[in-house]
Amino acid sequence: MSDYLEIDIRLHSRQESGQELVLALLAAFGFEGFKEEGGRIYAYIPAEKYSSEAFEAFLTGHKLKDEIRAMKMTSIPECNWNAVWEKTYSPVQISGNCMVRAPFHLPLKGIEYDLIISPKMSFGTAHHQTTRLMLESMLVRIWSGLKILDFGCGTGVLAILADKMGAGSVTALDNDPLACSNASENIALNNCGNIKVVQGELGSLDEYTFDAVLGNINRNILQREMKNLGVRLKNTGLAILSGFYESDLEKLSISASDYGLFLESKLSLDDWMVAVYRKGD
């Protein structure tokens, strides 16, 4: 068992939106487990993956230092992640007819799409605004018979909803083996038979074109992969993208238009945004 580092963070603001922002950025840096307790955030990263110099530069680059009131780093044995999540993870209801819950939560009557997610170390539990926005954008569309790609699948929550909404086939892609393992576990928990999990990069997929691509990552990766996104979509296909701020929409849309993807609709929550692009002339 390898050692982990625990970072104990206290923020100046106790608003939920501020805490969610810090959690998302810590996940982007490489922290693999989180819990919130008494107004504090605890985040965990394998000791061998942490560099104090890189983390200092990351905090400065994302202007996080002004948000943090106090921070302490402690070396600990590997966590029992299931116990951590069972203590802190609550169900999330989306648009009235969809719920994201852990295996230890009871199902709720009247829910059409019951998504069971054992998050472990992967991002995508619907607690973050971007995952909520993605799920809300999916729920207002028809997926029956379509070929779907979940790019950067994390827990597999988007792929699972697509399957439950009748997609013909779903590919869940992630370059992180831990995420692929977690997604496979969650797919089994939900009895989803039309999802294939693939570990790798977008440009190396065997399948060539999809009716829709779902991507909840971050703006830098989305912009970097925009050409591949355009190539992977059928004509008139949709790219539903999140993981970025409202202020980044113009930059992302310019990159998208370079590869034939044009903004069709958008939705925001607490400065985060989901954008729907359609491929066409």
Q: How far is CA 213 from the centre of its chain?
A: 14
3-state secondary structure of 126: coil
pLDDT of residue 85: 59
DSSP 49: G
What's the one-letter identity of residue 9?
A: I
**206-218 pLDDT, tens digit each:** 777 999 999 998 7
What does the alpha-carbon distance between residue 161 and residue 149 come to, in Å, rounded to a whole number? 12
| Domains 4-84 and 121-279 alike in fold | no
Each domain of the chain, given as residue ranges in start order, spans: 4-84, 121-279
Which candidate, 235, 175, 178, 177, places its Cα nearest to that of 203? 175
Q: Name the CATH superfamily, with its identifier, for domain 4-84.
A: ACT domain (3.30.70.260)
Q: Architecture of domain 121-279 in CATH? A: 3-Layer(aba) Sandwich (3.40)
Backbone angles phi, psi at 194, to 5 degrees: -110, 20
Please, are residues 139 and 95 in contact by the beta-carbon 8 Å criterion? yes
pLDDT of residue 1: 46
The CA-to-CA distance between both ends of the chain, in Å, stands at 54
With a cut of 70, list the residues of the chain below it in pLDDT. Answer: 1-2, 12-20, 36-39, 77-89, 119-127, 281
**233-260 pLDDT, tens digit each:** 999 999 999 988 888 899 999 999 999 9
Which tokens in the block code for residue 144? 């029956």
Which tokens in the block code for residue 248? 């980044």
pLDDT of residue 122: 47
Q: Is the dihedral of CA 68, 220, 99, 137 positive or negative?
A: positive
Please, are residues 115 and 157 in contact by the beta-carbon 8 Å criterion? yes
pLDDT of residue 169: 94
What does each C-alpha distance from 29 to 68, 124, 132, 268 come to in angstroms?
Answer: 16, 15, 21, 23
pLDDT of residue 84: 60
3-state secondary structure of 150: strand
Task: Tell how strand 195-199 and strand 98-101 pair up.
Answer: unpaired
